[in-house]
Structure formats: structure tokens, C-alpha cells
């Protein structure tokens, strides 16, 4: 059972912070680049961030640069997305995904089709 499980979502006020976690079961994340995606109601799924298998490189969509930070702890088989200064437009279901290609392109973010494994998503709602 190769699974990714997201957690850490919830309701937060604008300007607040959340940290999402993506934990793997059934396989190790050591050999995968990990991407975070999000999908808002009525909109296409979009890439948010990517981190290479070693954690040596990261990439972000422009709208979250300076606010979101992706990181990983391979010893814990977990990837994180720290989200600060949240805005209502960040409201979405957030998904993590694993790509065996290991690396992250710098421009543009790797498309969803490059990722082999996906979690079920965690809801992030930014509202007062």
C-alpha cells in the first residue's frame, strides 16, 4: 500500500499560518521529489511548490513565494509546507504528490502528470 497522507489543514484567519505535513506509508520518500498542489472550488489543480529528493532544491509558484516554505525530513518520511501570511485566495484542498524523477525544475513547476503518487488532500480555509 503506497500512500501519501496529508494533515495540518484547517480554518485560519487571513495573515495566519499553517503547517501541512505529507507522510508516506508503504515506501520511502528518499527517492522522490515531492510536490504540493492545491485545488480551489471550480478551479484547476495548480502546482504550489516542489522539493527535490535530497531537499537541495525547491521551487514555488509566484503567488506563494516569500510566504510558503517547503521542507522535508527524510528520516521521518515526511514533507512539510509551512504557510505564512495566508490569504483568502489560498483557500483550497492541498495535495502532496511524489515524483520518482527526484528533481524539481526551476521554471516552471513540474506538472501534475509527472507525479506518480498522490494523497487524498487536506482542506485549508482562510477566512475571517
Residue 9 pLDDT class (50, 70, 90 cuts): very high
pLDDT for 20-50, tens place per residue?
999 999 888 999 999 999 999 999 999 999 9
pLDDT for 83-118, tens place per residue?
999 999 999 999 999 999 999 987 789 899 999 999
CB 33 within 8 A of CB 99: yes
Supply the mean pLDDT for the chain: 95
Amino acid at each position: 500500500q503506497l500512500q501519501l497522507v496529508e494533515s495540518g489543514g484547517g480554518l485560519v484567519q487571513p495573515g495566519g499560518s499553517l503547517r501541512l505535513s505529507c507522510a508516506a506509508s508503504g515506501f520511502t520518500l528518499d527517492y522522490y521529489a515531492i510536490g504540493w498542489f492545491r485545488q480551489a472550488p471550480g478551479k484547476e489543480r495548480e502546482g504550489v511548490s516542489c522539493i527535490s529528493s535530497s531537499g537541495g532544491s525547491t521551487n514555488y509558484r509566484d503567488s506563494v513565494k516569500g510566504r510558503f516554505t517547503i521542507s522535508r525530513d527524510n528520516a521521518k518520511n515526511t514533507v512539510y509546507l509551512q504557510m505564512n501570511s495566508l490569504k483568502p485566495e489560498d483557500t483550497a484542498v492541498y495535495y502532496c504528490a511524489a515524483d520518482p524523477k527526484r528533481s524539481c525544475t526551476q521554471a516552471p513547476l513540474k506538472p501534475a502528470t509527472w507525479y506518480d503518487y498522490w494523497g487524498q488532500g487536506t482542506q485549508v480555509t482562510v477566512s475571517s
